[in-house]
Structure 1
């Protein structure tokens, strides 16, 4: 998705503009999208939610499955419109992102200079004639700051699940046209282990407000069938 991410800078980006997002072609080849726990309930009604393991950082991250194969986003149509009522926040924030400035907890607002939305002539300016950040930049700062807080909470959620051995590899077989496809390489919450937690641990889950996210993830797996249907619909014109 991101090609050339650099910190937003008045000297470097004076006169630069950002066009309003009118299509999601930039996300058409992404089959997963990171989601925070705050997004689980809304996302679970549309996307299967799973966890992927980052072995280098020794952590798990939740993602929404957007396709059954790498390089495929079944929710972006030929018209580049998003074919669902909820769009993950990581997609909506494009072409902006946060980058950690150091070990003191500071973050910098960054922009993807390789994005088609970033240009010299169309859209809203990043800086005004006096070199001050415009409302566009200030709104992005607030939005990304909120996402960063959600990201921190999501990280603690995943650490808790991992510490109590609540992750299990997903192995699911679905029928696609006249063939079967195995879905693997990711993790889900183990419902059996969840149900066998001690009363003390279960109450801790409730106190941390983790239960809605946990049950949303478990129920979201039924949306894999939605992906199969979308895949079949896209392949039918090709077969014809």
Structure 2
């Protein structure tokens, strides 16, 4: 995951304002092309149940706390779940971080409030005259429009889940449970690739946690999250299989 000081996917985040954006709409047709070259997507613990069915769930080092991510590709710049038409693989869970785009909560400079913003570089946001089928960002009276009204609630819910995710990551770090993990892969064409920079929970350390910590974690749902994280390792094979299917066919 790249870190250029901006949130993943967002090139030009800006606050949504009626006076500036009243004529803009969001095209209804979904297009996940913006995530086609991302091999890891942030996850909150509340997503571990559906995500663990399809992705390996690991952690990556952050500025202050580790971040849980769903691994979507085996190589840098590869997302095996987004096809050339920008469609997410049918029948697989789409992380909330992806579904939130192009909207995002932006904190005021004094950090006293958060407001809804969007990525100005998103191809789906256009003027109403340019869009074939668009949902308005604003209603005529200046209130949230069809496209933004549900996203305000979604982004707020996502923010709260992210805060709980921070609590989970902090608890893992405090108990020194996360260890470095390298994934070495051998492909059918006999090439090799190593995915590093990953962190995983050390299972033995987890099982040796003091009883009072385990009881507290049980109440907070952290034990379940750890178990789902550990169980998700079975999905590395899923990625290998998808990578094999995506590989270009050899010439006869």
**TM-score of the pair, normalised by structure 1:** 0.93
Shift of 1:175: 2.4
2:137 pairs with 1:131: no
Aligned to 2:49: 41
SS of corresponding position for 1:143? helix
Rounded to whole Å, the distance in 2 between the matches of 1:58 and 1:5 is 22
Aligned to 2:211: 199
User: Given the superposition, is the C-alpha separation of residues 2 and 239 from structure 1 closer, same or farther in structure 2, using an over 3 Å criterion?
Assistant: farther
Equivalent residues of 1:53, 1:59 under 8 A apart? yes
Rounded to whole Å, the distance in 1 between the matches of 2:138 and 2:71 is 37
What RMSD, in angstroms, separates the aligned Cα atoms of the two structures?
A: 1.6
Equivalent residues of 1:41, 1:212 under 8 A apart? no
Shift of 1:199: 1.4
Size of the aligned set, in residue pairs, is 238
Aligned to 1:65: 71
Looking at secondary structure, tell me which structure has more helix per residue.
Answer: 1
Shift of 1:78: 2.2
Rounded to whole Å, the distance in 1 between the matches of 2:144 and 2:88 is 30
Shift of 1:239: 5.6
Alignment of 1:90-129 (within 5 A): 90-121=97-128, 122=131, 123-129=134-140
Rounded to whole Å, the distance in 1 between the matches of 2:82 and 2:99 is 13
Q: Deviation digits for residues 132-171 of structure 1, max 9, x if unmatched?
A: 3224322111110000110000000000000000101112
For structure 1, which segment, 12-21 or 75-84, has the greater mean C-alpha deviation from structure 2 after superposition?
75-84
What are the ranges of 5 or more consecutive residues in structure 1 without an aligned counterpart? none
Equivalent residues of 2:25, 2:147 under 8 A apart? no
What are the ranges of 5 or more consecutive residues in structure 2 without an aligned counterpart? 1-8
Q: Deviation digits for residues 62-87 of structure 1, max 9, x if unmatched?
A: 01111011111010112321114210
1:25 to 33, 40, 48: 33
Aligned to 2:191: 179
User: Given the superposition, is the C-alpha separation of residues 80 and 137 from structure 1 closer, same or farther in structure 2, using an over 3 Å criterion?
Assistant: closer
Shift of 1:173: 2.3
